[in-house]
Structure 1
Amino acid sequence: MGVTASSRYRVFSDEQWARVEPLLPSNEGRRGHPFGDNRRVVEAIAYRYRTGIAWRDLPREPFGAWQTAWKRHRRYAADGTWDRVLARLLAEADAAGQVDWAVSVDATIARAHQHATNTTRPDQDTGAGSNHRDLPIERCEPAGHGIGRSRGGLTTKIHAAVDGRGRPLAAVITGGHRNDGALLATVLADIRVPRLAAGRPRTRPDAVIADKAYSAGIYRRALRARGIKVVVPEKSDEIAARKRRGARGGGPRGLDTIAYRGRNVVERHFALTKQWRGLATRYDKLAITYRAAVILAACITWSRV
């Protein structure tokens, strides 16, 4: 896609693309036809998810054959390309002191379209798949394809962690019926920001800010064991149970109310994510291809930093 293409079809500015393109797989040592115009294909993938159209309906001008865009997306989803791109962008931002490590965690529901659900699934989704960094593809896709039955019917859930400015650090896909708090450890484990210089990747936030779905004692203890500040309000039934136990119930759980005001950044992140119609409604049969689009959107966000 040339620089003269209509902005209607583009999500990357020239400056953003200059940062992202060197991080994509090269053609060196690859058998078969060399990759075509990387920018045209990646813009095609983003356009498909922004608009929510079927792959076959991608405009041939300016995107070329729809099969090329689909196959590239499938390849990048399987080999974790966008995870590696995001890791590099996060590393650069962290080295420049631009990551706010007061992390907000939450989840949002997306309705699964019938095109995503006409596949064999177990009665209960097994939960989250891998983030594709180290495992072969057959071990990355969750058994239930990240689709479960909740009050809204067949749904999928995006569990996300964002920094203090609402920019995504991690994303996990599960069935819509999965409990938010039960996936807290999995979401935090997906935060992995490499160092540009020597040293281990950063994986520990300064604080975790979350709503009452994450208020159980087991989650609080796990966070404190890692030295992470807990900014989560108590549920009313937990307060009543603690009072009934008297001195054995302990004192009130401390809550940094000023820090908790910042929790809405994760809600704003979901609002922006769902401006892409292909993410607001899930059309993908595979959880890994749906998640790859979520991570692509995250890469676009961090390429602006």
Structure 2
Amino acid sequence: MRSTGSRYRVFTDEQWERIEPLLPSNEGRRGHPFGDNRRVVEGSAYRFRTGIPWRLPRDEFGPWQTAWKRHRRYAGDGTWDRVLTRILAEADAAGKIDWAVSVDATIARAHQHATNTTRPEQDTGAGSNHKNLPWHEIEPPGHGIGRSRGGLTTKIRQAVDGHGRPLAMIVTGGQRNDGAMLAEVLAQIHVPRHGRGRPRTRPEAVIADRAYATGVIRTELRRRGIKAVIPDKRDQAAARKRRGSKGGRPPGLDAAAYKGRNVVERFFALAKQWRGIATRYDKLAITYRAGVTLCAILTWQRLLGDTP
């Protein structure tokens, strides 16, 4: 199997040995069987890391159309989500996931090459009408691009563990309210257990900033038995104080736990070193989100070490 040169390599040999068995093959299907899968997948990852167009260097990655089609297929059929889920299961079995989860969102400017499709105000036929579908099968309204103060933007909404390592992510338009999307982000947390038992979907705590400080969110977290580490909004605190004894008690805040909220910002800083994530060039939200998932996979790979 031919591998790319060190200049273009994204995966180490040991990392690829862990990932390769989790990728689908083309055996039993019409068409030629997949050849040199590592070379093609390296091309996809290299494209997101550098932010170059999909017309990759042919001598290193082969025909660019193959890299694009393979990435689009793996994005749409949930391959990259399944790989991340398997790696998360290994990490959880090794006790390496801190279940004090931090949640936040970051803006990515949409390049003009990503916006010459359906206008952000127009529905693409998915989103709210297909809430029961896995996220990798949903192309959100406007392809996840919306109008905000920064122009045409996308928001990456991320849940990370207590050490800043990614557990779940979704992509929406940049104008969508952070608090309104929290339930959808938490719903993407799905970590199977080795052996018997249901997958783990419930964090021990959710740490978030004031954008998530609503009564609806606090009630939902309380219903699920999740500790809310969210500071009160200043206007809410002032209104409660004006009402005196009728204002009720302020929500509790674990100040020590809240100091760990910045781990999600650290992951955003790491992910945006990949230029294809820092700026969105992809027309489809599905393929863009798959690039974010690839970055998450490599983040966990570095933690688990190079031994498959």
SS of residue paired to 2:33? coil
**Judging changes above 3 Å, is the alpha-carbon distance between structure 1 residues 205 and 144 closer, same or farther for their aligned structure 2 residues?**
same
The equivalent residue for 1:253 is 251
Q: Would the alpha carbon gap of residues 135 and 213 (structure 1) be closer, same or farther in structure 2, given more than 3 Å must change? A: closer
Matching of residue 37 in structure 1 with residue 41 in structure 2? no
The CA deviation string for residues 194-252 of structure 1, in whole angstroms up to 9 with x for no partner, is: 11212211000000001110111111111111111111111110101111222222122
TM-score, normalized by length of structure 1? 0.94
Q: For 2:16, give the aligned amino acid.
A: W
Q: How many residues align?
A: 302
1:241 corresponding residue in structure 2:
239
What is the CA deviation profile of residues 38-94 of structure 1, one whole-angstrom value per residue up to 9, with x for unaligned ones? Answer: 1111110011111111112x1112111101100001101110100000010001111
What is the rounded CA distance, in whole Å, between the counterparts of 1:266 and 1:137 in structure 2? Answer: 21
Q: Name the CA distance, whole Å, in 1 between partners of 2:136 and 2:258.
A: 40
Uncovered stretches (5+) of structure 2, i.e. residues with no partner: none
Partner of 2:193: 195
Counterparts of 1:62-211 in structure 2, within 5 Å, are 62-121=60-119, 123=121, 129=127, 135=133, 140-211=138-209
Deviates more, 1:92-101 or 1:245-254: 245-254
1:16 Cα deviation after fit: 1.0
State the alpha-carbon separation in 2 of the partners of residues 128 and 246 from structure 1.
47
Q: What corresponds to 1:283 in structure 2? A: 281
Match among 227, 230, 234 for residue 228 of structure 2:
230
> TM-score normalized by structure 2?
0.93
Aligned counterpart, 1:269: 267
* Deviation of the 1:271 alpha carbon: 0.4
Amino acid at match of 1:140: I
Match of residue 55 from structure 1 = 54
Question: What amino acid does structure 2 have at the position aligned with 1:117?
Answer: T
Instruction: Give the secondary structure class of the aligned counterpart of 1:55.
Output: coil
Distance 1:248 1:124 in 2: 45
Query: How far has the Cα of 1:14 moved from its partner?
Result: 1.3
Q: Distance in 2 between matches of 1:124 and 1:241?
A: 38
1:71–1:147 distance in 2 versus 1, CA, 3 Å? same
Q: Is the 8 A contact 1:129 1:173 kept in 2?
A: no
Matched residue type, 2:6:
S
How far is the alpha carbon of 1:121 from its aligned partner?
2.7
Q: Could you tell me how far apart the structure 2 residues matched to 1:258 and 1:21 are?
A: 41
**Aligned residue identity for 1:40:** R
Alpha-carbon distance between aligned partners in 2 of 1:216 and 1:126, rounded to the nearest angstrom: 30
Supply the AA of the counterpart residue of 2:65: Q
Please provide the CA RMSD for this pair.
2.2
- Conserved in 2, the CA contact under 8 Å of 1:125 and 1:175? no
- Equivalent position amino acid for 2:21 in 1: P
Query: Tell me, what secondary structure is at the counterpart of 1:259?
Result: helix
